[in-house]
Amino acid sequence: MLNFKEIVSVTLILFSVIDILGSIPIVIDMRKKNGTVESGKATIVAGAIMIVFLYLGESILKLFAVDVESFAIAGAIIIFFIGMEMVMGINFFKSEGDDAKTASIVPLAFPLIAGAGTMTTIISLRAAYQELNILAGILVNLVFIYIVLKSSGWLERKLGFAGFNIIRKVFGIILLSIAIKLFKDNIHLA
């Protein structure tokens, strides 16, 4: 049964983990490199990943004998390299095929929107909230993600070249910090 309080809680938790507002400089950078970002495609793919992970996440990881911590570390490494691209101005991710279509999926839909942090959070939310309310929280976030992705071109025009470069470097450092925190929180030295 839908519970408004649970939906709001799940929505806010996922909103803070997905951090689509913090990803705006990355989206703008991708739009600059590729000419466009397919907002609808990125939102749908990210949504599909989150919904599949809601229902099958633990089973998928167990199938490959991967624990949640290892999955989070793998996501942290990808996020780390994206942050390095932003700060250093070098490209680690080489596109394969059509740039805009590829970039809308990797690294935008996964791992930026529906990355290891998001998927780990979804698994954790299952322990505290009903699946239907988690699903509703995911859908609310997807609407917001789509709006932000669609308006990234307008934001780029408002920021200008200098503003964009400053924000890109600052958020690159923040991404590096998030990657290191994810790595640190999930590595267990024996």
Flag residues of the chain having pLDDT under 50.
97, 190
- Residue 190: its pLDDT value, please? 46
- Residue 5: its pLDDT value, please? 95
- Residue 132: its pLDDT value, please? 96
Q: What is the CA radius of gyration of the chain?
A: 17
